[in-house]
């Protein structure tokens, strides 16, 4: 094995040249004007047509006019993020006023119930009657209206590849095989363990009492977000978020090293409630919180890395969160997503991982064999070359943190994504000024090519290394 990992050796290549291959997403451009009847999503229209006259329905109202951020090129990350937030908030004030005025008048007459304004996505969540929703579609400022649907939390992988939920004892002092496979220990020996980097989870929460994770929590009022108001401090009802966080920042308290960046700190957004579901509005709120955790654009508290080990329920293209992801990229954050577990067939890509601005991670075992159930490409939403996933990483029988201070093995692309997020933390410790496009280039340029020569729709650009 080489002294340095391929990732460490290759992340210093001319990243700007590679980054030019991936232009900014068009999600921030002004959308084309459409007729009012075409603004309402077909699935929502079916709901409206069958709903009672006074039934309250929660929807996402997306505005037609959007802000371009492509001209912002601040050298300091803090200044870049501050200007992005200020510009987005200004645009929201300019474009949302008529929508808010209408909704508030309907709240007054009892035909609407509530609304939440989002400055990050140029839109609002509105709860109102079918008539109010139809009225909103008449506004020229409105571009699209979709239902504020529920999204189920990630399900457990197939039992054939999943160990018992009972805890197991980690043995020995060496790193877990999956951590050694991608050569993270070679970086640790050079002093790169993620110090000074903050990683964030969008998941079921985190068990803050776990000894591997408690000391790595950033703490303070800007490190935990629960859009559903169930928990004021970090909590995890299912264990999924605790598993993925352990792969990113877990240490060696159980006997072996289980995390990629044990020196990094973590924060978390609990996008799934204790009952195992989230909402589109709740996830939009979480994305917005991640960009500005304390609500003050002047403070530098945006995480460096964001991991999303979740998908919509079915394969296909859904661009609901593309604007959120594109804004994070403009802020220098490359959102990492699990590719999904709908394989082995082709054309099984999931959103948001297949969105043009996202980075999708598939899974392999420790022998570089593809995870049987991992989703394959091409990407249903297109994007650079349509290749899906972007990369693969270890995701079979991965040991990580579990609830109640225990440990467990899990399999799936949910386990592969945080390997890449942890590697990104190591990369950013070494090169803190990289743009999102440069981060992507660093990850894929260091990958070990697998399968067919070059990028393919099984292994992507190769295995994380």
436-445 helix and 322-330 helix, angle to the nearest 10 degrees = 90
Q: Which sign does the torsion angle of CA 312, 314, 316, 320 carry? A: negative
First to last CA, the chain: 12
Active site residue 226: no
| Tokens 């110090």 found at | 195
Options 5, 238, 309, 414, the catalytic residue: 414
Catalytic annotation, pick one of 210, 240, 284, 419: 240
Q: Is 240 a catalytic residue?
A: yes
Give the other-Cβ count within 10 Å of 166's Cβ: 8
User: Coil, strand, or helix at residue 438?
Assistant: helix
Of 25, 203, 257, 309, which one is the catalytic site residue?
Answer: 203
Work out the angle at residue 271's Cα, subtended by the Cα atoms of residues 336 and 210, and round it to the nearest 5 degrees.
Answer: 85
Which residues lie closer than 8 Å to 399 by C-beta, 6 or more apart?
168, 170, 176, 178, 254, 256, 258, 407, 408, 409
| Pick from 25, 96, 87, 101: nearest CA to 62 | 96
CA distance 247 to 369: 20
Residue with the two structure tokens 């909590």: 235
In whole angstroms, how far apart are CA 301 and each of 82, 222, 223? Answer: 11, 8, 9
Q: Any catalytic annotation for residue 414?
A: yes
Catalytic residues: 203, 240, 414
């Amino acid at each position: 094995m080489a002294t340095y990992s391929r990732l460490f050796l290759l992340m210093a290549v001319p990243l700007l040249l590679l980054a030019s291959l991936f232009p900014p997403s068009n999600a921030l451009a002004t959308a084309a004007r459409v007729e009012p009847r075409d603004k309402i999503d077909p699935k929502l229209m079916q709901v409206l047509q069958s709903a009672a006259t006074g039934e309250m329905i929660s929807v996402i109202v997306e505005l037609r006019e959007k802000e371009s951020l492509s001209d912002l090129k601040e050298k300091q990350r803090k200044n870049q993020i501050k200007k992005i937030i200020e510009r987005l908030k200004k645009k929201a004030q300019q474009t949302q006023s008529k929508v808010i005025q209408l909704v508030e008048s309907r709240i007054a007459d009892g035909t609407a119930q509530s609304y939440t304004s989002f400055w990050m996505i140029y839109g609002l969540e509105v709860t109102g009657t079918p008539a109010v929703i139809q009225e909103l579609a008449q506004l020229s400022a409105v571009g699209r209206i979709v239902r504020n649907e529920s999204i189920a939390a990630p399900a457990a992988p197939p039992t054939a590849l999943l160990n018992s939920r009972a805890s197991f004892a980690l043995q020995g002092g060496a790193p877990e095989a999956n951590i050694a496979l991608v050569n993270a220990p070679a970086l640790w020996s050079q002093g790169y363990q993620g110090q000074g980097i903050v990683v964030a989870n969008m998941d079921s929460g985190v068990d803050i009492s776990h000894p591997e994770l408690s000391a790595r929590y950033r703490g303070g009022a800007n490190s935990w977000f629960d859009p559903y108001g169930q928990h004021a401090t970090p909590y995890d009802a299912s264990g999924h978020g605790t598993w993925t966080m352990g792969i990113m920042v877990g240490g060696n308290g159980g006997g072996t090293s289980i995390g990629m960046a044990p020196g990094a700190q973590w924060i978390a957004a609990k996008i799934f409630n204790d009952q195992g579901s989230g909402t589109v509005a709740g996830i939009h709120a979480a994305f917005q919180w991640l960009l500005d955790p304390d609500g003050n654009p002047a403070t530098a508290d945006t995480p460096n890395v964001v991991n999303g080990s979740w998908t919509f329920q079915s394969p296909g293209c859904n661009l609901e969160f593309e604007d959120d992801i594109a804004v994070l990229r403009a802020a220098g954050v490359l959102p990492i997503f699990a590719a999904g577990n709908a394989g082995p067939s082709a054309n099984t890509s999931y959103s948001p991982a297949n969105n043009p601005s996202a980075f999708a991670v598939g899974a392999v075992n420790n022998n570089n064999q593809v995870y049987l159930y991992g989703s394959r490409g091409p990407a249903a939403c297109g994007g650079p070359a349509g290749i899906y996933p972007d990369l693969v990483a270890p995701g079979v029988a991965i040991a990580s943190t579990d609830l109640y201070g225990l440990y467990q093995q899990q399999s799936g692309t949910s386990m592969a994504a945080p390997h890449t997020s942890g590697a990104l933390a190591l990369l950013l410790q070494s090169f803190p000024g990289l743009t999102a496009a440069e981060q992507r280039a660093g990850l894929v340029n260091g990958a070990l090519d697998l399968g067919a020569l070059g990028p393919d729709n099984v292994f992507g650009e190769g295995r994380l290394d």
